[in-house]
């Protein structure tokens, strides 16, 4: 028979691992987005429009997670 305290401890560890993985993934995605538009004067209006759409999509993914 499983030890309930051990099962809860294992579940807590699993959730912590998943949260760390998600945080790292979202952090990298944010860094990638920044790289697409943060080119100084090189980014034209269309680049900025596309970047804004990607940020909106990214934000919605964060909220749905």
* pLDDT tens-digit readout, 15-55: 999 989 988 988 888 888 787 777 666 777 887 788 889 88
Residue 58 CA: distances (Å) to CA of 6, 8, 22, 55 = 36, 32, 13, 5
Please check the confidence at residue 1 and state whether its pLDDT lies above 70: no
pLDDT value of position 50: 84
């Amino acid at each position: 028979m499983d030890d309930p305290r051990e099962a809860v401890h294992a579940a807590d560890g699993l959730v912590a691992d998943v949260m760390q993985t998600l945080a790292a993934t979202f952090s990298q995605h944010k860094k990638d987005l920044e790289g697409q538009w943060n080119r100084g004067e090189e980014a034209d209006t269309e680049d900025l429009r596309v970047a804004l759409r990607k940020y909106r999509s990214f934000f919605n993914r964060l909220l749905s997670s």
